[in-house]
Amino acid sequence: MKRHPFLWGCVLVFWGLPQGHATEWKFVAEPLAPFIQQAAGASGQPTGPMVEVLQAVCGRVQQVCSVEIFPWRRAYKMAERGEVEGILPFFHAVERERDFYFSDMVVESAFTVFVVDVSSLKYTQPRDLDGHTVAVYGPSGISMTVEALLKSGSTGHAEIELSNMIVLKKLAGGRYGGADAAVGVLNRDVGLFLLKTEGIQGLRTAGDLKKVRYGIGLSRRKVSDLQYRQFNDALKALIQEGKIKQILDRYAMKPAA
C-alpha cells in the first residue's frame, strides 16, 4: 500500500480499537508562516511549529495523521463540514463552538497594527483608528475581529484583502492613503516574518489590537467527545513535560500561558 508522504506516527491502534482498525486522521491548514508553511521542493511537505506540535500529539496517542495545505476559506469549510478531522492553527471564538472542539492553546501571538515608519500613530484603543482605512486579510478570524472592533468603537473602516502580503505591500506603497490615514492589521508573527523574508521596507508595528492564542480545532462532525478528550489530554501532557515549549523555542515563539 502506498504511503501518504505527509504521514507520521505508528499504525498501531486507533485509540483503543484492535489492530487493523486504524484510520488516518486528516488535518487542513492554510499556509501561515511562520506557524505553518508549505516546504519547497517536490515533496511540498507542510512544516512549522504547529505541524510539529500536531505530530507530537498524534505520536502520543499512536494515531496516523496527515496535513494538507489549502486556502483558508476552503480549509475552514472542509473542517466545518466534517470532511476532515481538524484544522490548525486555530483560535477560540464563541461562534465556532457549535462546529469545533478546541484543544488547549499552544502558542501566543497578537493581532498587531502595522503602519508606515513616518506615521505618528501609537495604537492603544479603538478610537485611535478613527478615520483610518484598516486593511486586513479576510474573510478570516482576524478580519472578523477588526470589523467587530470598528463597529463598536471607531469610525475607521475595514478594507478586506486577499492576502497578508497584499496588505503589507499596499500599505508600504501608500495605496490606502497618507501616513496617518491607513494601517494594516496582521498577526504579529506573520507580519514580521513577511517583512523580513520579502524585504518589505518602511513599515513598523504600532501596538497590539488583541492578544491571541492558537491551538488545534477538531471537527465535532468527525471526532467523538472521547477522542477529543484523549487527544487534548495528550497535548496537556506534552505541555506539562515541556515538550511543546521545546518545539516553540526552536522557532522563537511564545508558548500560550
DSSP states of 178-228: STTTEEEEEEHHHHHHHHHHHT--SEEEEEEEEEEEEEEEEETTTS-HHHH
Burial 165-202 (b: 16+ CB within 10 A, else e): eebbbbbbeeebeeeeebbbbbbbbbbbbbbeeeebee
- The proportion of the chain whose per-residue pLDDT surpasses 70, expressed as a percent, equals 90
Q: Where in the chain is the domain with CATH 3.40.190.10?
A: 25-107+213-255, 109-211
pLDDT at position 86 = 98
- How many CB atoms are located within 10 Å of the residue 116 CB? 22
Mean pLDDT score, 86-104: 94
- Longest CA–CA span in the chain (Å) reads 65
- How many CB atoms are located within 10 Å of the residue 141 CB? 21
- The proportion of the chain whose per-residue pLDDT surpasses 90, expressed as a percent, equals 80
pLDDT at position 93 = 87
* Cell 476559506 found at: 73
Q: What is the mean pLDDT of the chain?
A: 90
Specify the fold of 109-211.
D-Maltodextrin-Binding Protein; domain 2 (3.40.190)
pTM score over 0.85 = no
pLDDT at position 121 = 96
Q: Please, is 63 exposed, middle or buried when counting C-beta atoms within 10 Å of its C-beta (0-12, 13-18, 19+)? A: buried
The two beta strands, 37-38 and 107-116, are unpaired
pLDDT at position 213 = 96
Phi/psi for 169 (5° steps) reads -70, -40
Specify the fold of 25-107+213-255.
D-Maltodextrin-Binding Protein; domain 2 (3.40.190)
Render pLDDT for 108-139 as a digit per residue (tens, 0 to 9).
999 999 999 999 999 999 999 999 999 999 98
pLDDT at position 43 = 62
Mean pLDDT score, 65-77: 94
Q: How far apart (Å, rounded) are the C-alpha atoms in residues 205 and 207?
A: 6
Mean pLDDT score, 199-206: 97
pLDDT at position 38 = 83
- Residue 7 pLDDT level (bands cut at 50, 70, 90): very low
Least confident segment among 19-23, 31-35, 73-77, 219-223:
19-23
Distance from the first to the final alpha carbon of the chain: 42
The two beta strands, 86-90 and 203-219, are antiparallel
